[in-house]
Amino acid sequence: MFVSVSSVSAESYPNRPIHWGFKKASDGIPAEAGQEWDQLLEKHGAYYKGDPNKKDIYLTFDNGYENGYTAKILDVLKKEKVPAAFFVTGHYLETEPKLVKRMVKEGHIVGNHSWHHPDLTQVSDERLKEELEEVKEKTEELTGVKTMDYIRPPRGIFSERTMALANDQGYKHIFWSLAFIDWKIDQQKGAQYSYANIMKQIHPGAILLLHTVSKDNADALESVIKDLKKQGYTFKSLDELTKKNTEEKKKKKKTKKPQKQKKN
Local structure of 62: helix, strand or coil: strand
State which residues form the domain around 133: 36-255
Average pLDDT, integer, range 30-56: 95
Specify if 20 maps to a domain.
no
**Res 201 pLDDT > 90:** yes
Local structure of 207: helix, strand or coil: strand
Give residue 6's pLDDT. 41
Specify if 260 maps to a domain.
no
Give residue 16's pLDDT. 85
42 in Cβ contact with 242 (< 8 Å): no
**Res 252 pLDDT > 70:** no
Specify if 3 maps to a domain.
no
Q: How many domains does the chain have?
A: 1
**Which CATH number covers residue 142?**
3.20.20.370
Which whole-number Å values give the CA distances from 262 to 19, 256, 259, in the listed order?
A: 47, 18, 9
Q: In whole angstroms, give the CA distance from residue 203 to residue 26.
A: 8
**Res 5 pLDDT > 50:** no
**Res 95 pLDDT > 90:** yes
Q: In whole angstroms, give the CA distance from residue 88 to residue 90.
A: 7
Local structure of 40: helix, strand or coil: helix
Specify if 217 maps to a domain.
yes
**Res 78 pLDDT > 50:** yes
Give residue 45's pLDDT. 96
Specify if 176 maps to a domain.
yes
Residues annotated as catalytic (active site), given as ranges? 62, 211
Specify if 76 maps to a domain.
yes
pLDDT band at 249 (very low <50, low <70, confident <90, very high): low
Least confident segment among 120-124, 191-195, 226-230, 243-247? 243-247
What is the reported pTM?
0.89
Q: What percent of the chain clears pLDDT 70, i.e. is strictly above it?
A: 87
Q: Which one has a higher pLDDT value, 49 or 245? A: 49
Which whole-number Å values give the CA distances from 43 to 36, 37, 65, 204, in the listed order?
A: 11, 10, 32, 23
Strand 157-158, strand 150-151: pairing: unpaired
Cβ-Cβ contacts under 8 Å for 154 (sequence gap 6 or more): 113, 114, 117, 118, 119, 120
**Res 1 pLDDT > 90:** no
**Res 18 pLDDT > 70:** yes
pLDDT band at 259 (very low <50, low <70, confident <90, very high): low
Average pLDDT, integer, range 194-220: 98
Q: In 3D, which of 89, 103, 105 has the Cα closest to residue 151?
A: 89
Q: What is the DSSP string of 146-197?
A: ----EE--GGGEE-HHHHHHHHHTT-EEB--SB--S---GGG---HHHHHHH
Least confident segment among 149-158, 169-178, 252-261? 252-261
**Res 256 pLDDT > 80:** no
Cα four-point dihedral sign 127, 131, 132, 136: positive
